[in-house]
Amino acid sequence: MELGQLSDAKDSGVNYTLLRDEETLHAGIFDKPLPCFGCGLGWFSFLVGFLCPLFWYYATVLYLCNHYRKDPRERAGLAASAIAASICTVAAFITTIAILI
């Protein structure tokens, strides 16, 4: 018996094949919900970073260490946190220079 054919179909001369959904083959990786209330570690760090900017730097370290390879859905949030951390660093540097001069 060939793959995808039923034993009854062999007798009647009709070939039946199994139908597979291409989306279900790759969906198993992303069935697990994201951590931090479902929005992911990157976006959670981005939002909480407005209260405590250290979260932006934490997410930047994760971004630079390729944490998003575990789950590609995290990449956008981690990148947003890295951008926010760099803007915060530049703003702090300019503020410090303005105070000292």
Measured CA to CA, the distance from residue 72 to residue 63 in angstroms comes to 11
Per the structure, the count of domains in the chain is 1
Structural domain includes residue 21: yes
Give pLDDT tens digits for 30-83: 677 777 777 888 899 999 999 999 999 999 999 999 887 888 888 889 999 999
Q: Is the pTM of this model over 0.85?
A: no
Structural domain includes residue 57: yes
Structural domain includes residue 38: yes
Structural domain includes residue 2: no
Question: What is the span of the domain harbouring residue 11?
Answer: 7-100
Structural domain includes residue 1: no
Tokens of 6: 């039923």
41, 78 in Cβ contact below 8 A?
Answer: yes
More confident residue, 93 or 73: 93
